[in-house]
Amino acid sequence: MGKRIVSGIKPTGTLTLGNYIGAIKQFVKLQKNRKEDEFFLFVADMHAITTRQVPAELRKRTLDIAAMYLACGLEKERTVLFIQSEIKEHVELGYILQSNTYMGELERMTQYKDKSIKQDTSITSSLFTYPALMAADILLYDADYVPVGEDQKQHLELTRDIANRFNNFYGDFFTVPEPLIPEVGARIMDLQEPNKKMSKSDEFDKGYISLFDDEAAIKRKIRSAVTDSLAKINYDPINQPGLANLITIFASIKDLEIAQIVEKYQNSTYQTFKEDLAQALVDTLIPIQKRYQELIKSQELQDILDQGKAIAGEYAFKKMRKCKQKIGLGRK
C-alpha cells in the first residue's frame, strides 16, 4: 500500500536555498522514487501570522510558494497542493491538539525559545501554540512521512508524542508520522555566519540565496561567502564551517556525495570551487525561475489549488467528523 507524505512551508520572507535543499528538493526526489505514494503539500499561511505580516505581501508569498513547488519539479498530477487557511479543519484540530499538549512541552521548543529571545516584546500566543497547529497539519491527513529540514525535527517529535497521547486515551485514531530528514543538506548554514542557519527572515542579506535571486546576485553571494585561511578543500564542519556548508550545497545540488565533491576539488583553489558552485546554482535556479514565471500568472495554478482544496478538504472534513465523535464533542 502506498504511503502518504505531508509537508508545508510557511510564507514568511523569501524562499531560500535552505528551503529548497532541506525540503522542496526532497519532495521532488521522493516523488520520483516512490510512485505508490500520495503527496499532500501545502502553504502554511496560518503559521505565517504568528508574527505580523503585511496582507498583500502575505497573499503574494503564499501564491509564490505554491508556484515554486511546481516550478521545482513536483508533478501536478500526483500532488495535492493547497493553502492551509482554505481548509478550516487545520485550526479546528489545532485547538483540539492544544488541549492534548502541555505547557512544558511547548516551552521546550527551541524554535519558540530562539524567536522569543530575538523579539522580547509582542510575542503572540499563537507563536507559542504553533507546534500544536503544525501537529494538526500532519495528523489531519494521517501522514506516514513528513519530509523536513533538521530545524523541524523537534516539532515532529512533539507531533508524535501528541498523536500517541491521543491514541492512548481515545483509542487508535491518528497515524503516528515519521520525519524524513535528508542525509545531506538538512541544515544549510548562513553564507556569512556559517554557525547560523540560513534563514529567510533576514531580508537584504548576503547570508542567504533566495530562489528568486538573479545570476549576478547568486554569483556575488557565493563569491563573498565566508571561508577560511587554510586554503584546502576539505570537509570539516568544525574547523572549516563555511567551506563545509558550500560543499554540502554543491553535493546536494548535483546529487553527489560530499566525498565526491571533495575528491573532485581537492587540488583546486577556493576561487575555482566557488565559481563552479555558483555556476551549478545558476544552472539549477534560473530554469526554476522561468517555470515559476509561467506558472505564477496562469489559470493552471489556480485550478491546481482549487483541486487541492477539494481533495484535502474532503479528507479533512471526514477526519474531523470522526475526531469529534471520538472526543464526545457535539451531539453525535
C-alpha cell belonging to residue 49:
501570522
Q: What does the CA dihedral 124, 127, 129, 134 come to, rounded to 10 degrees?
A: 150
Grid cell 486515551 — which residue?
A: 169
> Could you give the string, one character per residue 198-227, with x where binding to ligand TYM holds by CB under 6 A and - elsewhere?
x-----------------------------
CA 288/CA 284 separation, integer angstroms: 7
C-beta of residue 39 within 8 angstroms of C-beta of residue 237: no
**Residue 123 backbone phi and psi in degrees, to 5:** -85, 125
Task: Establish whether 324 is a catalytic residue.
Answer: no
Q: Which one of the listed residues 3, 29, 76, 115 is annotated catalytic?
A: 115
Which one of 4, 5, 14, 18 is in contact with ligand TYM (CB under 6 A)? 18
Per CB under 6 A, the list member of 188, 243, 247, 249 interacting with ligand TYM is 188
Of 47-66, binders to ligand TYM (CB under 6 A) are: 47
CB-nearer residue toward ligand TYM: 25 or 274: 25
Piece in contact with ligand TYM (CB under 6 A), picked from 74-82, 167-175, 182-190, 242-250: 182-190
Q: Name the residue number minimizing CB distance to ligand TYM.
A: 22
Comparing CB distances to ligand TYM, the nearer of 141 and 292 is 141
Decide whether 183 or 332 has the Cβ nearer to ligand TYM.
183
- Kind plus residue range of the DSSP H or E element containing 39: strand 38-43
Q: Which three cell numbers stand for residue 326?
A: 471520538
Give the DSSP H or E segment for 222: helix 215-223
- DSSP codes of every residue in 159-175: HHHHHHHHHHHH-S-S-
- Contacting positions for ligand TYM (CB under 6 A): 6-10, 18-19, 21-23, 44, 47, 134, 137-138, 146, 148-149, 151-152, 186-188, 197-198
Active site residues: 115, 197, 200
